[in-house]
Structure 1
Amino acid sequence: MKKLLLHPVAFGFMFFGVVLTFVTTSVSVAAVDDSIVETEPEKGPNRGRLLKQDGFVIELSIFETGVPPEFRVWVTNQDKPVAPEAVSLTVKLTRLGGVVDTINFKPQSDFLRGDMEIYEPHSFAVTINANYQNKSYQWQYDNFEGRTNIEPKVAEAMNIQTEIAGEATLSETIEVFGRIVPAQDGQRHITARFDGQIKSMPVNLGQTVKSGDVLARIESNESLTSYAITSPSDGVISAKFANDGEQTDGRVLLSITNLQKLTAELAVFPTDRARVSLGAPATINVGEVKDSLISTVIFLDSQLQRNQSTIVRVAIDNASGLYIPGQYVTGEIEVDRYLVPLAVKRIGLQSFRDFTVVYAKVGEQYEVRMLELGRKAGEWIEVLGGLDVGSEYVTENSFIIKADIEKSGASHDH
């Protein structure tokens, strides 16, 4: 079974042809019935749509040269020009969702000029009422663009998801990179309390030790008695500088690193340095680890590196043991957070003509909303105009709506 949604042609520059709709729960789109062809409306000398009744003719055009789009109307009767002040005229535009724009007209030069901007999208049902010499005239037609119809079962099968547009908290971040190193308080360098000979050192490089484990036994040079050196903390033997039989000589014998407490050293460049603050939220990613690590900034270096970056340290809780010193990381640091009254998810954005749009959903119908955009942060983008708070709009798989509309091959004539 085929189902076609015909979008009659528009006046002026708003011709939009035939639009396809989905008709089954499969991922295919219904084919166009070539036997159904919409004829372009007859146009007048001002490139407007001609509407005729008993020899009374109005030419309705959208004019936008040097002004926001507005309606202008020229009138003839029995092929003779009619003075604009002799005609009473109103146009009603019924938009998707039942919003009605009522436009009144006043004479100007040789035409009637509408008193309202024709804002985007130029998609509506048009009703024209005119009165001339005590006789009334009325015309109605549909002028749809950027609109399509998708049945709920099809939308579900296509995984077309929507959300309600409203306020959102935008988190602005900067990208950073660096590597994992031991925490500054996570390393212990072990020395002998009294110099002497190392009688034994029962630990090896890379060995895991617990707090209190014996690391070495030393025979004091002065008392010739032996004493044990024990581990001050849990950790791993990360360096070993002495062996059995050697003299301690006041040197570091070995180092212990607590791998449960690590730090990500991240490079921040001067343009962003002033925006980073202690305690700022940070997200760390290691290529071979699936999940991101959420932490905070714990240190801001005051000196520049050779590449003119500044080192910022972020704490890493490594209780899981997934991270190892030396791993390279990427991440994001939050530098600002603010609440905006209206935002949409960036995943829902598409292009339509020269506009960035989302697709509003009303019932089973979807239609473009041309957006005026503001700040971008993370998954969100601020909306300054073109969409109302509380509007339902497409997020996931919005490209399906775009593809369906574009398959109509419709144009937007001027």
Structure 2
Amino acid sequence: MIALLIGAVGGVGLRPVDSALHAFLAMPAATLATEGQDHAEEAHGEGELHLTAEQIEAAGIRLADIGEGRIARQLSAPGTITASADRLARVPARVAGTVTELHRRLGDQVAAGEVLAVVESREMAEAKATYLAAVRAEALARTTAERERRLWERKISAEQDFLKARTEAEEARIRVDLSRAKLSALGLGTAEIEALPSQPTDALRRQEIRAPLAGRVTDRRIDIGTSVSPETEAFVVADLSVLWVELAISASDLAHLREGQAVHLTGGATGQAGEGKVVFVSPMLDSQTRTARAVAELPNPDGRWRPGAFVTAGIATEAQSVALSVPTEALQTVEGRTVVFVRTEGGFIKREVVLGRRDERSAELVSGAQAGEQVATANSFVLKAELGKGEAEHAH
């Protein structure tokens, strides 16, 4: 029996069986023979296969319920996984200076606001000193204005002196605001600016490069001792929990594509599958390829998908409900007819079916089976091979 079954499987050019199927094939011949011995002629004549639950599990056969479903037109497009532009930060040095400390390495996970490196900068020292001087001058001008106000109210000094002192205090406040704005532009946060008056003089030249978002360091372009300018891109930090898939959509398929549609993705380094959704469809066509750019968002909480991998995107469009549907992997061809194997109490029975509309995953079932019945899906070819073996034995 084992030889006949392997021959039947090999005759259709299938790939090598997996471990579960190997276990099924390795069962003693008497196991299957005993199960169906009393019914062999009747069972195979009616397309029945008598298998125990253990044999079904050993063969890796999976079941699916027949019921309502949706048949959709599928668009297929090539794609490339990239980091989400909404979750990618290129971190500049912001000032001219020299890198003196590195706190994070390539590949490290970082939190938002975490220090990545430290730069010693004369520009930063000058900006901080200007701010501190402006703060002290503003405090003195405010005190002077308050004293002149009291003297004027007591008729001790002229109103002109009070107005002049008030104007100088306002100008001093404006200088503080301007110097604060410059520090913010250089990358200092509010808390850091507020803490400057209490810092030692030696700390004025330090500029901390901080992560603007939580993620992983995917690129680092500085080392200790590196001279940097304000435009130097020191780090790249990416949140890879959500990725983008860049798709190229042909002009003929654009009419069927909408933002928000579900996308089924297959491929990647390990051939995995995932689900995403379309978040952008470009209104412009590439003048050379005559394709439009579309972007799908792909959740990646466990990090299975890697930027740079190539994938194939299946986009369901024009979905229609059907009363009965069956997975396409449950369909087999026997003597030129489409059949499914329906689960029975003793195993399975072959049923010829009539199909309607279909897509890559499901087919509309017009006749041949009923709602609520279960059909074999994964490894259903094992049942086809076993059926062929039984019919061959019956013929002899």
TM-score range normalised by the length of the shorter chain = 0.5 to 0.7
Change (3 A) 1:363 1:380: same
What does residue 404 of structure 1 align with? 390
Q: How far does the alpha carbon of each residue in 1:352-391 deviate from its partner, in whole angstroms, 9 at most, with x for none?
A: 4443233557776976544332122243211223445455
Percent identical: 18
1:26 aligns with 2:45: no
What does residue 161 of structure 2 align with? none
- Cα distance between partner residues in 2 of 1:242 and 1:290: 37
Q: How far does the alpha carbon of each residue in 1:325-369 deviate from its partner, in whole angstroms, 9 at most, with x for none?
A: 322233433334332112223233233444323355777697654
User: Mapping of 1:244-393 within 5 angstroms?
Assistant: 244=225, 246=227, 248=229, 250-260=230-240, 261-289=242-270, 291-305=272-286, 306-359=288-341, 369-389=351-371
1:188 aligns with 2:169: no
Aligned-pair CA distance for 1:317: 3.6
- Cα distance between partner residues in 1 of 2:36 and 2:353: 30
Q: Specify the code of the residue in structure 2 equivalent to 1:200.
A: T
- Say if 2:88 and 2:236, in contact at 8 Å, map to a contact too: yes
Change (3 A) 1:197 1:398: same
What does residue 67 of structure 1 align with? none
Alpha-carbon RMSD: 4.2
1:236 aligns with 2:217: yes
Change (3 A) 1:354 1:363: same
Aligned-pair CA distance for 1:278: 1.8
- The worse-fitting range, judged by mean Cα deviation, of 392-401 and 264-273 is 392-401
Q: Specify the code of the residue in structure 1 equivalent to 2:366.
A: L
Q: How far does the alpha carbon of each residue in 1:263-318 deviate from its partner, in whole angstroms, 9 at most, with x for none?
A: 22223333333323222222334443464333222222233344333332222344
Other structure's SS at 1:292 match = strand
User: Mapping of 1:150-189 within 5 angstroms?
Assistant: 150-151=49-50, 153=52, 157=55, 165-170=66-71, 172-189=73-90
- Cα distance between partner residues in 1 of 2:87 and 2:93: 20
Q: What TM-score results when the alignment is normalised by the length of structure 2?
A: 0.55
Other structure's SS at 1:401 match = helix
- Say if 2:50 and 2:348, in contact at 8 Å, map to a contact too: no
Change (3 A) 1:26 1:361: closer
The number of residues matched between the two structures is: 276
- The worse-fitting range, judged by mean Cα deviation, of 321-330 and 357-366 is 357-366
Aligned-pair CA distance for 1:180: 2.0
- Cα distance between partner residues in 1 of 2:49 and 2:123: 90
- Cα distance between partner residues in 2 of 1:247 and 1:367: 74
1:147 aligns with 2:126: no
- Say if 1:343 and 1:381, in contact at 8 Å, map to a contact too: yes
- Cα distance between partner residues in 2 of 1:187 and 1:352: 53
Aligned-pair CA distance for 1:319: 4.0
Change (3 A) 1:227 1:376: same
Change (3 A) 1:24 1:167: farther
Gaps spanning 5+ residues in structure 1: where?
A: 1-22, 37-141
Other structure's SS at 2:31 match = coil
Aligned-pair CA distance for 1:236: 0.8
1:217 aligns with 2:119: yes
What does residue 202 of structure 1 align with? 102
Other structure's SS at 1:251 match = coil
Other structure's SS at 2:329 match = helix
- Cα distance between partner residues in 2 of 1:286 and 1:215: 37
Q: Which of 1 and 2 has higher RCO (CA within 8 Å, sep 6+)?
A: 2
- Cα distance between partner residues in 2 of 1:320 and 1:388: 39
- Cα distance between partner residues in 1 of 2:245 and 2:347: 50
What does residue 169 of structure 2 align with? none
Q: What TM-score results when the alignment is normalised by the length of structure 1?
A: 0.53
Gaps spanning 5+ residues in structure 2: where?
A: 1-28, 127-203
Richer in strand (by share): 1
What does residue 134 of structure 2 align with? none
